């Protein structure tokens, strides 16, 4: 194809804005990451997304006119046909925002929207851990738990673009209340938020002494729980073991439903390492049905922060062909 | 196409053999149903399958040479490439059986194999409740719980033909032991077998008086529990309400994972009627995420016993085109 031959991509998250400029083959030429201004509302964030993309362009020694299109991975729900983000739970107070049109006007370029977890699934499938898999399940475990599904090499979106809400698989009927309003979703049991909440309960009950001491200086997060566990806090070790086990039950449910070749798991909570990873894998392989687990691979995501944006590069690259 | 223009189909179940002869458009010309001889082993069942198909042919005033092919829906796991059924848990002691080759030799016709639940999903999608749906989830609740997935109008089989093991979605971590070896699968909570087991526990504890009286003359089955509930047995009513609610949680998990337009539910347990159906629907619609349940329809299967065999008619009809 002639004309502009680079692609821009922006991953709009609940806590950060990440952008990059890349070749259609996924070679990153420049990138930028900044904490989100989401609490200030959509207008501030639109300006911030443009600012981040311009910073990525500068680092790549390119300008807006070198880009053929820009992909935006956004928290859902998204009306993909209308290009509208509708009341995203992870961006409270946003209402219904015609994100595609507003960003097209701002950038003077065609914009393609996609659900952030679907974009990350495509990223890991095209450029990351899931390369070559025909059927793949992608799960990200951070503040919340999200997912994306690859069927026959392509993103599976369901009737309204919401397929792969893997954080809201129920693994404990009548379990803790989830942000979605249901009880016992895996997000309410194994997300970073859930780990932090359970750790605070441990401290309140006089347990987890190493964590309790650390918590004097810092906020209790899943990362701090992992740090305390590595420093020898038995209660934090047991907590991560239990969370990993419950997550393994969710993995088994995904596996039994989708019979994928690969499950790719990303997100901040995987940084807890073997303390989380080992019970998750053990439980998956002990729980999924025999024919399902035969040939099934459980892999850690490889693209880190860039998964969603690289997924957008893959999506718009394909649409431009 | 010239030549033989009718199709045969056999649904091999754990309790019955069902066969039919139909046009490629799904018009049934003759059918036959008989209790399975499975406990006598594969050889007896192969003869029985042939006998049932010949009975269907007689009723249709046709003979084997009028058939273009025969489809067989079988309990899994099935190696679809090799045409081999491997150690099906629902047909104990069968080992690995080259079912396709053995039946081709017996019938002198091409035979197509498919997983029974996938076949039933295709049947309901092509000729039954799910007609016209792009994405559909099919669940059958009888002795066990099985499922089949339709993605973009076609059966989704996963990497090894085992996708849609919807009975083995875990909804109660550490719940009752399931036949698959895991704990808290929906099959261990809401299948006909699970209902009968829980009802027997009620009787043993001195509850469920109406059921207890009925149980003097007959075996305690899910159908008997439904009968007792309809006759006013409060404990049986409460049991079905609870089972329906748990099944609704599983439906919500399927919905959140697949974002289908339609969920079709079949199988004997649905005959319990509103006592099972109402809490299931209410729980699904209260639990699935907003964007997922918008536009989602929960429908009862329409084809009854014939779903699997009619699905095979659709599958071989398409392959012959």
Q: Does residue B170 sit at the A interface (CB-CB below 8 Å)? A: yes
Place of tokens 């049905």: A289
* Whole-angstrom distance, CA of residue B316 vs CA of residue B313: 5
Output the pLDDT for position B199: 97
Phi, psi torsion values for A114, nearest 5 degrees = -155, 150
Tokens of residue A172, six digits = 């404990």
Which residue of chain B comes nearest to A162, CA vs CA?
Answer: B259
Nearest residue, CB atoms, B259 vs list A160, A170, A296 = A160
Q: How confident is the model at residue B1 (pLDDT cuts 50, 70, 90)?
A: very low
Helices A307-320, A116-127: inter-axial angle, 10-degree rounding: 80
Output the pLDDT for position A29: 98
- Residue B34, min C-alpha distance to chain A (Å): 30
Q: Which of 264-283 (A) contact B at CB < 8 A?
A: none
Tokens of residue B267, six digits = 């199988």
Output the pLDDT for position A317: 87
Beta strands (DSSP E) in B134-229 are 136-141, 145-151, 154-156
* Whole-angstrom distance, CA of residue B276 vs CA of residue A234: 45
- Examine the pLDDT at A1 and tell me if it is beyond 50: no
User: Cβ contact (<8 Å) for B169 and A256?
Assistant: yes
A163-184: average pLDDT: 96
Domain B132-301: give its CATH architecture.
2-Layer Sandwich (3.30)
Q: What is the ipTM of this complex?
A: 0.94
pTM across the whole model: 0.94
CB B183 within 8 A of CB B196: no
- CA trace torsion A263, A266, A269, A271 (10° rounding): 110
CB B50 within 8 A of CB B109: no
User: Cβ contact (<8 Å) for B253 and A291?
Assistant: no
Residue numbers in A near B168 (CB within 8 A): 252-253, 256, 289
Residue numbers in A near B250 (CB within 8 A): 170
Q: How long, in residues, is chain A?
A: 321
Tokens of residue A222, six digits = 């899943």
A130-147: average pLDDT: 96
Quote the percentage of chain A above a pLDDT of 90: 86
Higher pLDDT, A264 or B3: A264
Output the pLDDT for position B3: 63
Which is nearest to A113 in space by CA: A104, A126, A100, A103?
A100
Which residue of chain B comes nearest to A139, CA vs CA?
Answer: B257
Long-range contacts, stretch A32-36, CB < 8 angstroms, 24+ apart: A32/A56, A32/A59, A33/A305, A36/A12
Q: Does residue A151 sit at the B interface (CB-CB below 8 Å)? A: yes
CA geometry: angle at B192 spanning B12 and B97, to 5°?
A: 25
- Examine the pLDDT at B241 and tell me if it is beyond 70: yes
The count of C-alpha atoms lying within 13 angstroms of the C-alpha of A231, restricted to the half-sphere facing its C-beta, is 13
Output the pLDDT for position A321: 52
- Examine the pLDDT at B321 and tell me if it is beyond 60: no
Tokens of residue B2, six digits = 């010239």
Q: What is the pLDDT of residues B111-129, one digit of tens each?
A: 999 999 999 999 999 999 9
Which is nearest to B255 in space by CA: A153, A122, A176, A185?
A185
Q: Which of 21-50 (A) contact B at CB < 8 A?
A: none
The domain limits of chain B are 6-122+306-320, 132-301
Output the pLDDT for position A2: 52
In CATH, the number for domain B6-122+306-320 is: 3.30.420.40
Output the pLDDT for position A318: 80
Q: Do domains A6-122+306-320 and A131-301 have the same CATH topology?
A: yes
Residue numbers in A near B149 (CB within 8 A): 257
Averaged pLDDT of chain B? 94
Q: Does residue B178 sit at the A interface (CB-CB below 8 Å)? A: no
Q: Does residue A260 sit at the B interface (CB-CB below 8 Å)? A: yes
Q: Does residue A261 sit at the B interface (CB-CB below 8 Å)? A: yes
- Residue B165, min C-alpha distance to chain A (Å): 5
Q: Does residue A81 sit at the B interface (CB-CB below 8 Å)? A: no
Q: What is the pLDDT of residues B72-93, one digit of tens each?
A: 999 888 888 899 998 887 788 8
Output the pLDDT for position B2: 52
**DSSP for A174-222, written as a single string:** T-SBPTTS-BSBTHHHHSHHHHHHHHHHHHHTT--HHHHHHHTTS---H
- Three-state DSSP state, B13: coil
Which residue of chain B comes nearest to A285, CA vs CA?
Answer: B182
Q: Does residue A253 sit at the B interface (CB-CB below 8 Å)? A: yes
- Residue B259, min C-alpha distance to chain A (Å): 5
Residue numbers in A near B76 (CB within 8 A): 291
Burial of A42 (0-12, 13-18, 19+ CB in 10 A): middle
- Chain A to chain B Cβ contacts (< 8 Å): 150
Which residue of chain B comes nearest to A157, CA vs CA?
Answer: B259
Nearest residue, CB atoms, B259 vs list A162, A172, A175 = A162
- Residue A256, min C-alpha distance to chain B (Å): 5
Residue numbers in B near A156 (CB within 8 A): 151
A131-301 CATH, one of 3.30.230.10, 3.30.70.360, 3.30.420.40, 3.40.50.300:
3.30.420.40
Q: What is the pLDDT of residues A59-71, one digit of tens each?
A: 999 999 999 999 9
């Amino acid at each position: 194809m002639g004309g502009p031959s680079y692609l821009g991509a922006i991953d709009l998250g609940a806590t950060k804005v990440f952008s990059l400029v890349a070749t259609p083959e996924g070679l990153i030429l420049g990138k930028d990451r900044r904490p989100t201004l989401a609490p200030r509302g959509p207008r501030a964030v639109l300006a911030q997304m443009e600012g981040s993309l311009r910073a990525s362009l500068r680092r790549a020694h390119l300008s807006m006119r070198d880009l053929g299109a820009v992909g935006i991975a956004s928290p859902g729900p998204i009306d993909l046909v209308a290009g509208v983000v509708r009341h995203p739970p992870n961006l409270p107070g946003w209402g219904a925002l015609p994100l595609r049109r507003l960003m097209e006007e701002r950038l003077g370029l065609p914009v393609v929207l996609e659900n952030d977890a679907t974009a990350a699934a495509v990223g890991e499938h095209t450029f990351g851990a899931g390369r070559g898999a025909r059927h793949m399940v992608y799960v990200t475990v951070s503040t919340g738990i999200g997912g994306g599904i690859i069927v026959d090499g392509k993103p599976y979106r369901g009737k309204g673009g919401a397929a792969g809400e893997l954080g809201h698989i129920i693994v404990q009927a009548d379990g803790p209340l989830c942000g979605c309003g249901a009880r016992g979703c895996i997000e309410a049991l194994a997300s970073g938020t859930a780990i932090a909440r359970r750790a605070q309960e441990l401290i309140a009950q006089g347990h987890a002494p190493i964590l309790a001491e650390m918590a004097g200086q810092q906020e209790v997060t899943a990362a701090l729980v992992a740090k305390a566990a590595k420093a020898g806090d038995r209660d934090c070790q047991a907590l991560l073991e239990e969370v990993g086990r419950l997550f393994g039950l969710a993995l088994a449910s995904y596996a039994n439903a989708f019979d994928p070749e690969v499950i790719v798991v990303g997100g901040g909570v995987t940084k807890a390492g073997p303390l989380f990873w080992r019970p998750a894998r053990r439980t998956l392989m002990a729980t999924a049905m025999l024919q399902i687990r035969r040939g099934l691979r459980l892999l850690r995501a490889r693209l880190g922060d860039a998964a969603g944006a690289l997924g957008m590069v893959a999506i718009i690259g394909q649409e431009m062909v």
